[in-house]
A and B are shown apart, each in its own frame.
Chain A
Amino acid sequence: EAGVVQSPRYKIIEKKQPVAFWCNPISGHNTLYWYRQNLGQGPELLIRYENEEAVDDSQLPKDRFSAERLKGVDSTLKIQPAELGDSAVYLCASRQDSGNTIYFGEGSWLTVV
């Protein structure tokens, strides 16, 4: 069974440019998370989806960050415009309704220069 798939794996952009990350959760997993992990720290939740509904986006910086999960499967996370402080790893994760375990993808590594 395929795990959580993310793309791109690595992205280097100049500040003020837009960037988008894509996530395909494990098949059948209704809950999808986007986490951000700064260097030397643990991941922090940005947004959580139940199917296509964003049920917790309290920590998403809405002035420049947006996310969508239109059909309740794949999700995209967008940053526009990017700032230097956005350099981090953006992790997508998913969980099955009946399961305990949250499965993480390999992450999308963003460097803003």
Chain B
Amino acid sequence: GQQLNQSPQSMFIQEGEDVSMNCTSSSIFNTWLWYKQDPGEGPVLLIALYKAGELTSNGRLTAQFGITRKDSFLNISASIPSDVGIYFCAGQVNFGNEKLTFGTGTRLTIIP
């Protein structure tokens, strides 16, 4: 099935650094979502975006809905150890019941 392209595939950073990752699609989505998945757990929703150009924050996390509706970005400021995990973007054509199309994931590792 279709998977959105996420970049980078993995990141190795030091605690306190800022993190940026992005997600691109060949088709338009009207909702963009960012999830975090810890080892052995299911994905947990971090941020939801519903409007092109929208910039939304959740604590140290900030996400943007690209103007073209074909991309989205996630930034994490001042990373801490609990930020470790895999971050997935997901696109939804219509808000509500439509299935989520997930990205390939960005694995974040914090170097002590």
Residues on A lying within 8 angstroms of B by beta carbon are: 4, 31, 33, 40-45, 48, 50, 55-56, 59, 91, 93, 95, 100-107
Q: Are A45 and B100 in contact (CB under 8 A)?
A: yes
Q: How far is the CA of A48 from the CA of B92 in the complex (A)?
A: 14
From the candidates B41, B48, B97, B104, name the one contacting A42 in the complex (CB within 8 A): B104
Number of residues in B with C-beta < 8 Å to the partner? 20
Q: Are B43 and A104 in contact (CB under 8 A)?
A: yes
Report whether over half of chain B's contact residues are helix, strand or loop; otherwise say mixed: loop
Q: Are A42 and B42 in contact (CB under 8 A)?
A: no
From the candidates A41, A102, A106, name the one contacting B100 in the complex (CB within 8 A): A102
Residues on B lying within 8 angstroms of A by beta carbon are: 1, 3-4, 40-45, 48, 88, 90, 95, 97, 99-100, 102-105
Please, which residues of chain A bring their CB within 8 A of the CB of B88?
A: 42-43
Residue of B nearest to A45 (CB): B99
Q: Are B1 and A106 in contact (CB under 8 A)?
A: no
Q: Are B97 and A50 in contact (CB under 8 A)?
A: yes
Q: Are B42 and A105 in contact (CB under 8 A)?
A: yes
